[in-house]
């Protein structure tokens, strides 16, 4: 038997060589880190939930025509994705002030923003993913003006769609982070949504109580991390097979 090849190991995921040419297997670990690795722990069940939640959200987005790297889920912790050239940017969308924006600009957490705001961070662990502008991105060639235009258009569509989808499940989409990749098909390139969309990279608050249902429970030592992620999965109408059989679709929360 041949051991499969690890392409890349990140903080929360491992990428293995795929089963078909041009594909990669994305494995979701239970590891959680915060503050660029300063805080570490293992949260049993997190990987299974994120695999399932990200599968659901990527599939829903594909359904409205947003191109993504997602092909299909393989098992509880793995999904098959298309091999893309990752653009070294974290694209953050904010609908409500929270986290680093609140700290940096002195805006109280929970303050609704006059409009959705998109920010860019340069993916570089040794520099702590610094905040950058479109000027830096195009000047240093991390993305072309056309790439950026495509990313912004997709980001706005993703935000509109996911805000509505979560609201239907009684969840406020406060902010989230997206990553994009270049997908080459013969001589043509398209920008597609990559990485994952899960409570690890979104802020999700209960609409009625503002209870946090995301990774801030880990970052801020609030406890109940897996319970919160399970609650998100439950409200979206998805749960790992071991917990709930088929996907019955979103559950309307009154
Ligand atoms: P921030 O308030 O810490 O800048 O985070 C904004 C959003 O982006 C929040 O939903 C968490 C997500 N995020 C990541 O997924 N990865 C990161 O490295 C950072 C800094 C934020």
E strand spans, 35-111: 39-42, 70-73, 78-82, 85-86, 89-96
- Ligand 1 centre from 1 Cα, in Å? 40
* Average pLDDT of every residue of the chain: 94
Phi, psi of 51 (to 5 degrees): -60, -45
Instruction: Name, in order, each residue with C-beta under 8 angstroms of 237's C-beta and a sequence gap of 6 or more.
Output: 169, 247, 248, 249, 250, 251
Across 34-43, 103-112, 212-221, least confident range: 34-43
Q: Which of 201, 202, 214, 215 to mutate to test the pocket of ligand 1 (most atoms within 8 A of CB)?
A: 201
- Digit-coded pLDDT (tens) for 143-197: 999 999 999 999 999 999 999 999 999 999 999 999 999 999 989 999 999 999 9
| Whole-Å CA distances, 240 to 91, 230, 243 | 28, 9, 5
CA 193/CA 198 separation, integer angstroms: 13
Look at residue 37 in the predicted model and tell me its pLDDT.
86
Residue 92 Cα distances to 46, 120, 152, 199, 249, angstroms: 22, 6, 10, 14, 27
Which atom of ligand 1 is the closest one to the Cα of 102?
2
Which has the closest alpha carbon to 69: 118, 17, 25, 120?
25
Which domains, from first to last, does the chain contain?
6-84+226-243 (3.30.200.20), 86-206 (3.30.470.20)
Atom of ligand 1 nearest to the CA of 92: 8
* Best of 175, 199, 216, 232 for a ligand 1 pocket test (most atoms within 8 Å of beta carbon): 175
- Residues within a 6 A CB radius of ligand 1: 90, 92, 98-101, 129, 175-177, 201-203
**Among protein residues, the one whose CA lies closest to atom 4 of ligand 1:** 100
Query: Given the CA of residue 175, which atom of ligand 1 is nearest to it?
Result: 10
| Mean pLDDT value across residues 93-108 | 98
Q: Alpha-carbon distance 53 to 66, whole Å? A: 17
- The string of pLDDT tens digits covering residues 57-91 is 999 999 999 999 999 999 999 999 999 999 999 99
- Among protein residues, the one with the nearest Cα to ligand 1's atom 11 is 201
């Amino acid at each position: 038997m041949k051991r499969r090849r690890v392409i890349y190991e990140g903080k929360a995921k491992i990428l293995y060589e795929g089963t078909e040419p041009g594909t990669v297997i994305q494995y979701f670990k239970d590891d959680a880190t915060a503050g660029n690795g300063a805080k570490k722990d293992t949260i049993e069940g997190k990987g299974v939930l994120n695999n399932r939640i990200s599968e659901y959200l990527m599939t829903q987005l594909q359904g409205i025509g947003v191109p993504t790297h997602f092909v299909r889920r393989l098992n509880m912790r793995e999904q098959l994705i298309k091999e893309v050239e990752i653009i070294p940017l974290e694209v953050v969308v904010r609908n409500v002030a929270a986290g680093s924006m609140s700290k940096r600009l002195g805006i109280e957490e929970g303050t609704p923003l006059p409009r959705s705001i998109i920010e860019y961070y340069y993916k570089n662990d040794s520099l702590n993913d610094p905040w950058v502008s479109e000027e830096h991105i195009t000047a240093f060639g991390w993305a072309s003006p056309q790439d950026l235009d495509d990313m912004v258009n997709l980001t706005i569509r993703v935000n509109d769609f996911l805000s509505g989808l979560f609201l239907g499940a009684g969840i406020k989409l406060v902010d989230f982070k997206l990553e994009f990749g270049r997908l080459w098909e013969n001589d043509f390139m398209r920008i597609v949504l990559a990485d994952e969309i899960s409570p690890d990279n979104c802020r999700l608050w209960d609409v009625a109580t503002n209870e946090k249902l995301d990774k801030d429970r880990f970052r801020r030592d609030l406890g109940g991390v897996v319970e919160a992620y399970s609650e998100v999965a439950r409200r979206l109408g998805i749960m790992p097979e071991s917990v709930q059989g088929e996907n019955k679709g979103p559950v309307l929360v009154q």
